[in-house]
Structures are given as C-alpha cells and as structure tokens.
Amino acid sequence: MEQAHLICPTLSPAAASDRCTIIRTRLGCTDLFGVSWRISPCPLLLSSDEFQFFRALGPHLLSFYRGLNRLYSESVKGLQPTWVAAYLDQGKPESLIQYSRMKRFRDEIPAVIRPDVIPTQDGMVITELDSVPGGIGLTACLSQIYHDFDDGHSQIIGGRDGMVLGFARMLRSHQAQRAGCVAILVSEESKDYRPEMLWLAEQLRKEGLSVWCVEPREVRFTEEGLRLDADGHEQPVDVVYRFYELFDLLNIPKAELIQYAAKKGRVSVTPPYKPALEEKSAFALFHHPVLRPFWEKELGAECILQLTKVIPKTWLLDPTPLPPIATIPDLSLGPRAVARWSDLGNATQKERQFVIKPSGFSELAWGSRGVSVGHDLPQAEWGDALRNALASFPTTPYILQAFHKGRLFEMDFLDEGQAAVVHMSGRARLSPYYFVSDGTIELAGILATVCPADKKVIHGMKDAILAPCAVQTS
C-alpha cells in the first residue's frame, strides 16, 4: 500500500470550505495568477524527517553547482575531459558561450536554487534543477496566508515571511554597499509570472529594499550604468534579477546593453549568464563513471552519497554510434545491456520506465513542455519521441532519465461546482526554494503541486492543488 498523508483531519467540512473561500479571496486581492488551481484548506504536511531532508539538501545542491561550475571551467582548459564543455555548450550561440566564460563571472553560480522533488515509496527523487524558477512570489504569498491559519499543530516551512526575507538577503548580498535599486526583469516569454513578481517587489520594498519589477525595455542604458524611472525619480540599477531564459535573449529588449553593463562591472546580474549551469544533462555528468574521481574529490563522500540517493540515472541522448565492444554505462533493458539507442525503441511498456525531455536552452525545456513518458505512450509514439530527440542533438540535446513513480497523497480541495470540499488522491512535486547569500544557503519555503493520481507528468495544471508545505509539530 502506498503511503498517504492526511491533510487537516481536525477541520469540519464547513470550516474547511470557509477556509478555502478565505484563501481564494486573499489570493484574489493580490491579483496573483487569477487562482487557476485547486485550493486546499491546509498546507501539505511533511514529517520532521522529511523536513530535515530538505534542510540538509540545500548545502549539497550548492556544492553540486560549485562542482559543476568547476567541472565546466576545467574542461574548457583541458584539465577535465573536453567533451564535458562540448556537451554543455551544444546548441548555444558562440557569443553567449564566450561571454559566459569571462573571468569576471568565473565563480558566479545561481543565487536561487529550486529542485523539483518527487516523493516516492523509496524516498525523494530530484527530477531537475531550476535556477530561473517561477513560483517565488506565489510560494511567499501562500506561506503568509496559510501561516495566518496556524492551529498549533504544524508550522509553515520557512515561516510566514521566510520567502520574502530570504530573497531580500540574497539581493542584499549582491547589492553590497551600493545605494541604487534592484530591477526584476520579466520578459514577454515569462509574462505569466509578472503578477507574482510585482507582488514580491512590493513586499521587498516593505523590507526596506528598493526593488522594482519591470519589463527589460524600461531599463535605460548610460555609460555609467543602467538606470530606471521608479518611485517618481530616476535611480541607478545595482542588481538585475534575470527572470528570462537565455534561449530567449534575441527577443529581450536591451539584452546586449545589460550584458555590456555587467561585463564592465556596473551592475550585478543573477542568475549569471551561464547556460552551462542550466542544463538537465548535468545529472548525466554526475553519474558518468569517467567523471567519478572528479566528483568524489570535489564533493566528498557524504555529499556524493546523499546526491546519489536523490539524482536519478540520466543519460544524454547523443546519436554518435558506439564501437561494437562498448555499451551505454549503466543502461539496460531487463538483463540486457544497451549499446544502441535504437534498442530502446523496441522496449516493452514495462521496460519503458523512462522520460525523454530537452536538456535546456529551448522553449520546450521548461513548464513540462517537450516531455515524453515512455510507459505512457504507444510504442510507435515512443519510438518517434526517441528518434526526434536524437535528431535534435545538434541544436537541442535531449536527456533520457529513469522514471520514478510518486507516492500517493490524500488531500482535500474546494470543488467550485459542488460548493463543497472534496477528497483527492494525488501525486506530488515538492519545490523547495533555496537562497544563496554571502556563500551560505538557506531553505525559505516549499511549494507543493499535487496532481490527480492518473496524471503522469506533475505540473501546475488547473486540476492540481497548490499549497505551501508545513512540518508537523504535534
């Protein structure tokens, strides 16, 4: 039997319905996303052991990003296998590659780290890492709302204002002692997230930071740096929080001017312009046997052990033929080792416990787009997905990843049609938000996305429940 978590067992149906209505009303007042998901009367409850897992995970992920950054840099210099950098640069414009390698940005890594974690019967599994994540403002707002219903039996992870305060500390560490403002630049591609970032900027101003969420075209370039008309007067911009994807740079107004200002040290930009750090194929590099000595030296035994438990087996779908004596490391169909990707095309449904998805630098690489779940597809469609992924390698590399089935959670939500709270069994994606400031990392909150049990891919669909996570205290 799959493990179940009971949500708000002490609330009466009437009280649960009233609470959902209050939550919807408060969200509506913030104009946050228009509330296009199901509302639960209570947060998703995690055990104390699960909470400790997420607290411990942050430092391991920070070490992983630092290691990946070093691995790429040393590969460029020939100190590590050169195919590492070649893979991570595949499909990127040369100008962006050279910009990302500038000495000025050598040690920079993302300041916001959000893994997507699937709780399974055998433990937690990280499906991917996102360094330009949505949901920061949403999780912050939900944390405040649900915290205010505190009944003494649970505590919102990160606390009422953990997301806002953690983001503020991260920005201050980038701002240093400068007296300008922070510009959260949200592109047209990411416009659905603009309402939550506008709300977040307002909360940050209440904390004493001059933060403004604007479109890139609103920033003005001068030889002295970037400037922004905000709060009735023009301000210098000290920090740009980049809420746009690097594959979309050609569509970002003034993108080259922003890059120039960062290159000259006149503005700090985070996440950094480092596409190599935004590839899902990083998980394939972590598991590659040739790179094992590097990771062991870089991460240490404990970090290696913990990451090996949570990072699923992943392979980069490189169509280059192998010699007859070679096999793909650690990939098999039942007892049979795999030497050709085409062997996977003939796998049975039971053997197709894999996911295919773009590695990065593509409009298909975020929001669960471009994802193919092997055992959920007819064999012909699975074969087509595999062939398409291999053919796309020159411009958009894909990865193959072991599929891990999420365990069931039992949750309640407000059914608008019935005007009543109803029950749902679903599978969850837990998205912890970690903020890096002054070399340390902190867990500021966790967003749960719970989809109906029959959905193979978990994402923020209209049938999903979105709620913050809390830890049981009694």
Q: What is the mean pLDDT of residues 266-286?
A: 96
Say which residues have a Cβ less than 8 Å from residue 91's Cβ, sequence separation at least 6.
361, 362, 394, 395, 396, 397
Residue 45, pLDDT score: 94
Per-residue pLDDT tens over the stretch 416-434: 878 889 999 999 999 999 9
Residue 198, pLDDT score: 95
d(CA 395, CA 88): 12
Q: Phi/psi at 109 (nearest 5 deg)?
A: -135, 165
Average pLDDT across the chain, whole number = 92
d(CA 439, CA 145): 30
Say whether pLDDT at 6 is over 50: no
Per-residue pLDDT tens over the stretch 391-407: 999 999 999 999 999 99
Say which residues have a Cβ less than 8 Å from residue 290's Cβ, sequence separation at least 6.
81
Per-residue pLDDT tens over the stretch 129-160: 998 999 999 999 999 999 999 777 789 999 99
Report the SS3 class of residue 96: helix
Say whether pLDDT at 327 is over 90: yes
Say whether pLDDT at 29 is over 80: no
Residue 1, pLDDT score: 33
Q: What is the mean pLDDT of residues 366-376?
A: 81
d(CA 337, CA 324): 12
d(CA 360, CA 460): 20
Question: In whole angstroms, how far apart are CA 225 and each of 230, 240, 263, 274, 368?
Answer: 16, 12, 11, 21, 37
Per-residue pLDDT tens over the stretch 55-114: 999 999 999 999 999 999 999 999 999 999 999 999 999 999 999 999 999 999 999 999
Q: What percent of the chain has pLDDT over 70?
A: 95
Residue 7, pLDDT score: 52
The runs of H, that is alpha helices, within 264-354 are 282-287, 292-299, 301-310, 342-345
Q: Name the band, by pLDDT with cuts 50, 70 and 90, for residue 363.
A: confident
Residue matched to tokens 């400790």: 52
User: Residue 295, Cα to own-chain centre: how many angstroms?
Assistant: 22
Residue 110, pLDDT score: 96
d(CA 25, CA 145): 10
